[in-house]
Structure 1
């Protein structure tokens, strides 16, 4: 009965999404690019600032995971982040947003640096190699980007928060702005050993966010990681930690807090 009920709910979701209207801004588009490291063709969503078509400006770039949930309610699972609406706001700062669609049943593989004994995974290095060796060069050669470290960000939630954090330490000269929402540090404790041994770029900006109503481990795990970063010399002015009272592990919390996080990361 439980399996049938779950299938019924999933069927309703699929049917609803098939007829739902797109909520993506007109300046959001898509393209596909080969990811040989993952043996797949990746669908990429890209948001261009409103001024892009009538200026010669160059823009910072933020790479974000789970693109299906960023711009369009039609493709999101339980609600979109409304990233395009946030950046279209007249009070926002301009940037190019590159959303990478997750790999469906390969999502755990792609977004985790170390495997879990039950859930598997652990192929984040291949995913990041694709991002840095294939996707970023394409973006920098095709669009008017600011390619330097200080103008390149990586941002995600849950497993996306985990890999964004990992990328900052794995490639300290590649990503200068890090958004890590509800990072899944629980997935494998090796992330703490990796952090202790990794090189930290003291100029990297980190924004961490967690809800107090997520899991019992979320807040303690995040506090533990912040402690390690402070021991490694993370500058207090270059990180922000926000706890959302009653916040749950979902798009509602992440979407609501995205504009504030984005503006903080973009401050120079």
Structure 2
């Protein structure tokens, strides 16, 4: 596989608070791909992560792909794409990794390689990708509230084995899709790799507990309300987390047990049930990650959130969705956000809308980084 060398050359200048710095991007040695005319872009927090932004597209000059911009001196995260997130840069084996970071304080030269593209990775039989920090607590953990059994995963931070300290805990739904591509139906979030990378960069360490969904039962188990798919079992599922699973985790692992250090998060139906969990048990879950929530299937969540407002004072809630999801996805999310934060002044309630966001694991993988930083502060 040919390597792509990418140079960021920053013009020498004094950087004041609002100073602009000239940035010259040089992209060389484009690897073979199925595109007849390769088009490459930079996507980052400087352009709302738009993967095909014409203003951040490379031009070919004398055989070299060039892009010159002026950016304020600031901290940035970014990736290289060929026009879509399906064609984003990856590791040498097609594995996803965290965003690249760049802190512009002075004249800088950053040299790095892009090893592969997501769409060019040779498809091979799926294999286990869970990191060494992932363990299976039980392949059939009893859920007495649902008269069911589920596999439960746990991510233990790198320092766990060699330390005696306690850790905050993040509970997540759809365990099949969090850590391992072999068990994921539509691709994995890559939570373990993301955490490993973030922790190396100094971010707070969390234990992460992932609970498998129940397949065909998912639309009922993650919904606290009755719907066209049947009688909702979400209340019983959350009771399981609060009354059975969390006590087990707190007993068998070194955890910080208070609500400030207990987080719940999930996407789609997992977003709905996470919002319900923090609204119903704010003294248990102090923080929540609500990704692409399926509020359309549980409109009563708005009433429950209104009734819970007085008890959510101090809670941290992160809501995120994309414009390319279902028709009412963003508007439903905004309705709940307005209830939680009517003036927009509560910094503990965050809502993020992304123009390119799709109902997909790659989107939640990407947005997990900012969510994790939010709950870590």
Secondary structure of 2:232's partner? coil
What is the CA deviation profile of residues 115-149 of structure 1, one whole-angstrom value per residue up to 9, with x for unaligned ones?
11x22241111001111111001100000000110
> CA-to-partner distance for each residue in 1:70-124, whole Å, 9 max, x for gaps?
00111111111110011111113211000000011111111001111x2224111
Runs in 1 of length 4+ with deviation above 4 angstroms?
A: none
Contact kept? 1:206, 1:240, Cα under 8 Å: yes
Matched, 1:29 2:139: no
Structure holding more helix per residue: 1
More divergent stretch after superposition (187-196 vs 173-182): 187-196
Does the CA contact (< 8 Å) of 2:220 and 2:229 recur in 1?
no
Corresponding position of 2:207: 96
Q: 1:206 aligns with which of 303, 308, 317?
A: 317
| More deviation, 218-227/65-74 | 218-227
In 2 relative to 1, CA 65–79 (structure 1 residues): closer, same or farther, beyond 3 Å? same
Answer whether contact 2:341 2:349 (CA < 8 A) is retained.
no
Structure-1-length-normalised TM-score: 0.89
Question: Is residue 51 of structure 1 aligned with residue 159 of structure 2?
Answer: yes
The worse-fitting range, judged by mean Cα deviation, of 49-58 and 192-201 is 192-201
RMSD: 1.7
Which one of 213, 232, 239 corresponds to residue 129 of structure 1? 239
The aligned residue for residue 304 of structure 2 is 194
- Find the aligned partners of 1:40 and 1:194 in 2 and give their Cα distance: 27
What is the CA-CA distance between 1:188 and the residue it aligns to? 2.7
Asked if 1 retains the 8 angstrom alpha-carbon contact of 2:178 and 2:210, the reply is: yes
> 2: CA distance between counterparts of 1:188 and 1:95?
30
Matches of 1:257 and 1:48, distance apart in 2: 21
Match of 2:281 in 1: 171
Residues 1-268 of structure 1: pairs in structure 2 closer than 5 A: 19-32=125-138, 33-89=141-197, 90-91=200-201, 92-116=203-227, 118-199=228-309, 200-231=311-342, 236-267=346-377
TM-fit CA distance, 1:19? 4.5
| Deviation per residue, 1:223-242 (Å, 9 max, x gap) | 111111125x9861102111
Identify if the C-alpha distance between structure 1 residues 162 and 22 changes in structure 2 by more than 3 Å, giving closer, same or farther: same
1:18 positional shift:
11
Counterpart-to-counterpart distance in 1, 2:258 and 2:344? 20
Highest relative contact order (Cα 8 Å, sep 6+), 1 or 2? 1
Q: Distance in 2 between matches of 1:95 and 1:121?
A: 34
For 1:53 and 1:18, the matched residues in 2 are separated by 34
Corresponding pairs, count:
249
Hey, which of these two has a bigger chunk of strand by percent?
Answer: 2
Residues 113, 76 of structure 1: CA spacing in aligned structure 2 closer, same or farther, 3 A cutoff? same
Q: TM-score, normalised by structure 2?
A: 0.64
Gaps of 5+ in 1: 1-16
Cα deviations by residue, 1:30-65 (Å, 9 ceiling, x for unpaired): 122211101012210000000000001100000000
